[in-house]
Amino acid sequence: MTRTRQAISMIAAAVVLVAAGCQEGAQAAGVKIGDAAPVWSGIQATDGKLHGLADLKDAKLVVLVFTCNHCPVAKGYEDRLIALQKDYQSKGVEVVAVNVNNIPDDRLEPMKKRAEEKGFNFPYLYDATQKMGRDYGATVTPHVFVLDKDRKIAYVGAVDDNLNVGSVKTHFLRDALDALLAGKAPPKAVTQQFGCGIKYEK
């Protein structure tokens, strides 16, 4: 990491540290494999439209990813999500990204900027109420939930097994999607999510 990046991290640290005071006692119970997927509707996004699960009724599978702007781990997975949408959309899979953090870097305007810079080919939602995060029990960014054709939870966890692309051995999410598209159960339905803790407010 360069010194500039380190300096930026430290400024961010000071900001986040103040924000972290809100995190306490907000751990959501969340969903388990086989549970009906909590519905969302009327959620604003970087494209200026309102989004809901009902909009995706034609999708065979929905990949809901809790992500955000500020987290280096979440950022490390952006390109992989873009590639995933590109590779799987024609197979009937839709990626939906959502941010539920409310720290300054993670608000709608910076989100719009990020979506444009990276050329997100999936909607990037902003749920300032954090309800989606609580409903699903999202704890970190990135945290992935796959909804099957009956909109039941079919996969929960990480995108793959290493932030460092060069060290990835198992593509958990792609393996789960391939299995589900073939009418089978994912080889691993639950994997350990990891990343930056979501800042829940009380």
Partner 1 sequence: MRSKRPYSFAVALAALLVAGCSGGREGGGEATIDLRPVDRPTLDRVLKEHRGRVVLVDFWATWCAPCVGLFPHSVDLARRYADRGLAVITISLDDGSQEAAVRRFLAAQGATPVENFLATSGVSPQTFEEFQIEGGGIPFLKVYDRQGRLRATIAGAYPEKIDRAVEELLGEM
Residues contributing to the site for partner 1 (CB under 8 A): 1, 3, 6-7, 9-18, 20-21, 23-24, 27, 70-73, 76, 139-140, 143, 157-158, 161-164, 167, 172, 191-198
Q: Which is nearer to partner 1, 45 or 64 (CB)?
A: 64
C-alpha–C-alpha distance, residues 17 and 11, integer Å: 10
C-alpha–C-alpha distance, residues 50 and 52, integer Å: 7
- CA torsion 170-176-177-178 (nearest 10°) is 70
Minimum CB separation from partner 1 for residue 66, in Å?
A: 11
> Given the structure tokens 């955000």, which residue do they identify?
68
Minimum CB separation from partner 1 for residue 52, in Å?
A: 27
Q: Which is nearer to partner 1, 118 or 149 (CB)?
A: 118
Q: Which is nearer to partner 1, 1 or 54 (CB)?
A: 1
Q: Which is nearer to partner 1, 155 or 172 (CB)?
A: 172
User: What are the C-alpha distances in Å from 91 to residues 123, 143, 173, 175?
Assistant: 18, 22, 15, 14
